[in-house]
Amino acid sequence: MDYLPSVAAAAVVLLAVWSATGYQHHLYRLPEHRVPQPRTASVVARRAAVALLAAAAAALVFRPDHYGAGPATLTSAAVVVLAVMASTDLERRLLPNRIMYPAIVAALAVTWAWPDRSAGELLLGGVIGLAAGAVLFIGGELLGALLRVRATAFGLGDVKLMALIGLLVGWPAVVSALFLGIIAAGIPALVMVLVGKGRNVFAYGPYLIAGAVIVLVFPGAFL
DSSP 46-88: HHHHHHHHHHHHHHHHT-TTS--HHHHHHHHHHHHHHHHHHHH
Q: Which domain holds residue 64?
A: 4-222
- Greater confidence (151 vs 23) lies with 23
Phi, psi of 176 (to 5 degrees): -65, -45
CA distance 108 to 103: 9
pLDDT in tens, 11-49: 999 999 999 999 999 999 988 888 888 889 999 999 999
Q: Report angle CA 54, 133, 156 to the nearest 5 degrees.
A: 80
- Report yes or no on whether pTM surpasses 0.95: no
What is the C-alpha radius of gyration for the chain, rounded to an integer number of angstroms? Answer: 17
CA distance 121 to 166: 9
Say how many domains are in the chain: 1
Evaluate if residue 216 carries a pLDDT over 90: yes
| Distances, alpha carbon 115 to alpha carbons 75, 139, 164, 219, in Å | 12, 36, 19, 11
Under a CB-based contact definition with an 8 Å cutoff, are residues 83 and 12 in contact? no
pLDDT in tens, 57-100: 999 999 988 888 999 999 999 999 999 999 999 999 999 999 99
